Structure formats: structure tokens, C-alpha cells
Amino acid sequence: MRKIATADVGGTHARFALASIDGGHVVDLADPVTVKTGEFASFQHAWQEFGRQIDQPLPKELAIAFAGPVGGDVLKLTNNPWVIRPALMVERLGVVRFVIVND
């Protein structure tokens, strides 16, 4: 079994949770950690806060549901000043594998 992090990023809140994966299926989803996006300068800072709140090493895999278009080098949220640069995810977040989908 492996753990991945999940994130649902919207205009006013970002919700993070740990998911346990076994045989390609989610077998457990932890209670979410919700942060107000206006209290953090970037997704990276909110990600670090998630790690602080769960008090364990962050997983190396991440799935993000993103409230905005997901194509291109710079992803911009519809109602939030945060941007996500997929090319920098590995370096800035410490993940080795990620997926970003429009929600």
C-alpha cells in the first residue's frame, strides 16, 4: 500500500488529504486539512502548512484538482492569485510524480 497526497484548490480554500492506494484503488481517504488560500502566498506555502498539520513526511505523489485551465507552463486559478508551474513541482514541493486536473 502506498500513500499519495490529494489537493482540491479553489478560489477561497485549498483542501488537502492523504489517500491510501492499494491495487490501484483508493482504500482510505484521511480527513481533509482545509486552509484559506488568502492566508498563504502560494500553493507551495499551503502545501508546507499541510505537512505541518499532519505532522509526518509529505508523500512523494500528488493529485491536484484545480479550479482553472490546466494546460500550459503557468496554471492560473480562476478566483485566486496563486499560480502553479508544473515544471517546478518536483523541485519546490519534493514530489516525484503528480497529476493536475481541472475540476
Q: pTM score, two decimals?
A: 0.91
Q: Show the domain range for 77.
A: 2-102
Provide the Cα torsion 53, 42, 82, 80; round to 10°.
50
Provide the Cα torsion 69, 72, 76, 78; round to 10°.
-20
Spatial neighbors of 38 by CB under 8 A, at least 6 apart, are 12
**What confidence tens digit (pLDDT) does each residue in 53-101 have?**
999 999 999 999 998 888 889 999 888 899 999 999 999 999 999 999 9
Query: For 15, which DSSP code?
Result: E
- The CATH number of the domain holding residue 87 is 3.30.420.40
**What confidence tens digit (pLDDT) does each residue in 2-32 have?**
999 999 999 899 999 999 999 999 999 999 9
Domain count, the chain: 1
Strand, coil or helix: what is 73?
coil
